[in-house]
């Protein structure tokens, strides 16, 4: 499938070619033609699937074909004219044609940057971010230019709506990006209020990791006869892999537990993932001394040495591979029964790639994360991404001194290939819920940068859809 076949205009296709995009992603293949036809969409897809382009490309196509903003002066020009007449200039509300709502500032900025890239040959269409944390005068200047596209976090947008700076009566396209996250963060009322302020004639596209439950209800309320598009992501494909978390108190506890788990009778071969190359070397050395046949694999090794290590793994001469994420995507050895996260990966996507090293060729696998108590949030982030719950396990004689949050399903004892009952399945969670939604959206998802923010009590400025 080509971008031409999706029906996009040549200016947009040229921008995509210049950006190095050669063909549409699966979500784009399905969403773009439907959106060009003006259909409402409910799309379940993850970050990384190309979802931004999936809603932005057809929107740019439609907006570039539609009438330019009503002839006349921009709010900026109106104000200048008023000044020239000796009158006190009154701010005229911006009248955007498209609104993209996002849960976080980072995502809003990313969407705006991508929009600039895709619309580089469409001079008339400009996108502006309206975000919490940005100085109001700067945003007023941006709004005064009457941009066609607004990309906004809900809280700040409501402020501007309430003070009459934005008028949605001309809005043609509304996008809710990562709608599930916005709802998790407690923005339902804001979203309802914003949707209410837009014309019924709008096209609505909602993107969300899930279309179930509250999101699904809202989605159906605000769309008309939507086309539903479900993209099965890599995150959904690991049903034959049992996942577990073991809490550890410190490094020595972690090492003792790893050694114990590596002696499991059911273990054929294992990959142990570390955060750093140095740790990969150190742990491989330590495991060799402890009697395991272990080898390190990381990006500082020459390609020849990496290939030799992988060959030894495939031939079964190496039982435990200790690797950095460089190995997370490439290894396809069906006899790997276990994956250990000695350190959690930086990004949830990498977790999915790592655990995918086991459970290959139709077999079952076991993925165990050794986690200290401070990393509980990172586990939750992974769970949110994979939409799977990871049970906590405790092994007799290796119990952490600190008790984990009451979320554990304790299942001591051995795991056998074929035994997948410990796998994380919806409904198995017996532990505490994610943070309760907070009005400033600080409750979920992590991230954010530090700074002072009068709205937060812990001194951490939230990067979410705040004001
Ligand atoms: P998103 O899921 O929108 O966050 O996009 C993930 C990444 O994929 C971004 O860096 C996009 O620039 C990139 N991307 C989106 N569509 C394509 C495509 N058709 N070909 C190559 N890269 C793409």
Centre of ligand 1 from the C-alpha of residue 27, in Å: 10
**Average pLDDT value for the chain:** 81
How would DSSP label each residue in 120-141? TT-TT--EEEE-TTS-HHHHHH
Nearest ligand 1 atom to the CA of 24 is: 19
Q: At which of 230, 255, 290 does a domain end?
A: 230
Nearest ligand 1 atom to the CA of 20 is: 21
Q: How confident is the model at residue 364 (pLDDT cuts 50, 70, 90)?
A: confident
Q: Please, how many CA atoms are within 13 Å of residue 248, restricted to the half-sphere of its CB?
A: 19
Exposed/middle/buried for residue 199 (C-beta within 10 Å: 0-12, 13-18, 19+): exposed
Mutate to test the pocket of ligand 1, among 26, 53, 55 (most ligand atoms within 8 A of CB): 53
Centre of ligand 1 from the C-alpha of residue 316, in Å: 38
Answer whether residue 49 shows pLDDT above 70. Answer: yes
Q: At which of 176, 200, 230 does a domain end?
A: 230
Residue 458 lies in a domain: no
Which residue's CA is minimally distant from atom 8 of ligand 1? 50
Q: How confident is the model at residue 404 (pLDDT cuts 50, 70, 90)?
A: low
Residue 434 lies in a domain: no
Strands 41-44, 203-208: pairing kind: parallel
CA distance 49 to 232: 10
Q: What is the mean pLDDT of residues 338-345?
A: 97
Answer whether residue 392 shows pLDDT above 80. Answer: yes
Name the percent of the chain lying above pLDDT 90. 54
308 against 431, higher pLDDT: 308
CA–CA distance from 306 to each of 39, 297, 303, 309, 356 (Å)? 50, 6, 5, 5, 20
Q: Are residues 151 and 255 in the same domain?
A: no
Number of Cβ atoms within 10 Å of the Cβ of 124: 10
Q: How confident is the model at residue 245 (pLDDT cuts 50, 70, 90)?
A: very high
Q: Are residues 134 and 262 in the same domain?
A: no
In this predicted structure, what is the pLDDT of residue 229?
93
Which residue's CA is minimally distant from atom 11 of ligand 1? 50
Angle (deg, nearest 10), helices 51-65 and 10-18: 150
Centre of ligand 1 from the C-alpha of residue 115, in Å: 12
In this predicted structure, what is the pLDDT of residue 101?
97
Centre of ligand 1 from the C-alpha of residue 145, in Å: 29
Which residue's CA is minimally distant from atom 14 of ligand 1? 50
**What's the pLDDT tens digit per position in 136-153?**
888 888 998 899 999 999
Residue 353 lies in a domain: yes
* Least-confidence region, from 224-238, 258-272, 382-396, 441-455: 441-455
Q: Residues lining ligand 1, CB < 6 A?
A: 21, 24-25, 28, 47-53, 114
Q: Give the chain's domain count.
A: 2
Residue 382 lies in a domain: yes
Q: Are residues 278 and 223 in the same domain?
A: no
- Residue numbers of the domain that contains 279: 241-423
- Residue pointed to by tokens 């399905």: 30
* Least-confidence region, from 201-205, 379-383, 439-443: 439-443
385 against 38, higher pLDDT: 38
In this predicted structure, what is the pLDDT of residue 435?
32
Residue 431 lies in a domain: no
In this predicted structure, what is the pLDDT of residue 452?
28
Residue 109 lies in a domain: yes
Mutate to test the pocket of ligand 1, among 17, 18, 25 (most ligand atoms within 8 A of CB): 25
Q: Are residues 217 and 253 in the same domain?
A: no
Q: What is the mean pLDDT of residues 191-218?
A: 91
Residue 453 lies in a domain: no
Q: Are residues 208 and 250 in the same domain?
A: no
CA distance 267 to 269: 6
**What's the pLDDT tens digit per position in 12-47?**
999 999 999 999 988 999 999 999 999 999 998 766
Tell me, what CATH number does 404's domain have? 3.40.50.300
Which residue's CA is minimally distant from atom 15 of ligand 1? 50
Which residue's CA is minimally distant from atom 16 of ligand 1? 50
Q: Are residues 214 and 316 in the same domain?
A: no
CA distance 66 to 427: 48
Q: Are residues 400 and 279 in the same domain?
A: yes
In this predicted structure, what is the pLDDT of residue 47?
62
Q: Are residues 320 and 210 in the same domain?
A: no
In this predicted structure, what is the pLDDT of residue 7?
94
Residue 456 lies in a domain: no
Centre of ligand 1 from the C-alpha of residue 431, in Å: 35
Q: Are residues 16 and 107 in the same domain?
A: yes
Centre of ligand 1 from the C-alpha of residue 49, in Å: 7
- 162-166: list long-range contacts, CB under 8 Å, 24+ apart: 164/91, 164/93, 165/91, 165/93, 165/94, 165/140, 166/93, 166/94, 166/95, 166/96
The verdict on pTM exceeding 0.85 is no
Q: Are residues 153 and 97 in the same domain?
A: yes
Q: Are residues 49 and 154 in the same domain?
A: yes
Q: Are residues 160 and 303 in the same domain?
A: no
Mutate to test the pocket of ligand 1, among 52, 54, 109, 178 (most ligand atoms within 8 A of CB): 52
Q: Please, how many CA atoms are within 13 Å of residue 102, restricted to the half-sphere of its CB?
A: 23
Nearest ligand 1 atom to the CA of 3 is: 19
Which residue's CA is minimally distant from atom 5 of ligand 1? 50
Q: At which of 179, 198, 230 does a domain end?
A: 230
């Amino acid at each position: 499938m080509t971008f031409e076949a999706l029906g996009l205009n040549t200016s947009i296709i040229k921008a995509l070619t210049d950006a190095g995009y050669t063909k549409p992603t699966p979500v784009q293949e399905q969403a773009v033609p439907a959106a060009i036809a003006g259909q409402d969409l409910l799309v379940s897809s993850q970050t990384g699937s190309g979802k931004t382009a999936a809603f932005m490309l057809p929107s740019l196509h439609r907006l570039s074909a539609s009438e330019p903003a009503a002839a006349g002066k921009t709010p900026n020009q109106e104000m200048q004219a008023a000044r020239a007449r000796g009158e006190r200039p009154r701010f005229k509300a911006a009248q955007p044609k498209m609104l993209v709502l996002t849960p976080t500032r980072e995502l809003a900025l990313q969407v705006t940057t991508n929009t600039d890239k895709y619309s580089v040959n469409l001079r008339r269409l400009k996108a502006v971010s309206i975000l919490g944390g940005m100085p109001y005068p700067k945003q007023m200047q941006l709004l005064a230019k009457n941009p066609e596209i607004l990309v906004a976090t809900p809280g700040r947008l409501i402020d501007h709506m309430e003070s009459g700076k934005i008028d949605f009566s001309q809005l043609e396209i509304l996008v809710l990006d990562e709608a599930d996250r916005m709802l998790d963060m407690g923005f339902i009322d804001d979203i309802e209020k914003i949707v209410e302020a837009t014309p019924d004639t709008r096209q609505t596209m909602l993107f969300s990791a899930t279309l179930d439950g509250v999101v699904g209800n809202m989605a159906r309320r605000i769309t008309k006869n939507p086309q539903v598009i479900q993209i099965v992501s890599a995150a959904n494909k690991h049903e034959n892999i049992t996942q577990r978390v073991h809490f550890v108190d410190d490094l020595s506890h972690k090492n003792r537990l790893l050694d114990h788990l590596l002696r499991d009778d059911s273990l054929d071969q294992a990959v142990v993932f570390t955060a750093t190359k140095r740790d990969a070397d150190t742990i491989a050395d330590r495991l060799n001394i402890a009697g395991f046949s272990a080898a390190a694999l990381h990006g500082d090794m020459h390609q020849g040495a990496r290939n030799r290590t992988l060959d030894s793994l495939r031939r079964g001469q190496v039982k435990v591979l200790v690797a950095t994420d460089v190995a997370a995507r490439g290894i396809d050895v069906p006899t790997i029964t276990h994956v250990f996260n000695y350190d959690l990966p930086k990004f949830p996507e990498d977790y999915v790639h790592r655990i995918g090293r086991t459970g290959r060729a139709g077999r079952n696998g076991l993925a165990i994360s050794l986690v200290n108590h401070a990393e509980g949030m990172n586990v939750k982030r992974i769970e949110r991404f994979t939409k799977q719950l990871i049970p906590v396990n405790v092994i007799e004689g290796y119990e952490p001194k600190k008790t984990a949050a009451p979320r554990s399903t304790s299942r001591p004892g051995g795991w056998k290939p074929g035994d997948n009952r410990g796998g994380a399945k919806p409904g198995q969670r017996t532990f505490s819920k994610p943070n309760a939604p907070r009005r400033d959206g600080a409750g979920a998802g992590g991230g954010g940068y530090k700074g002072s923010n009068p709205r937060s009590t812990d001194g951490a400025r939230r990067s979410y859809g705040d004001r």
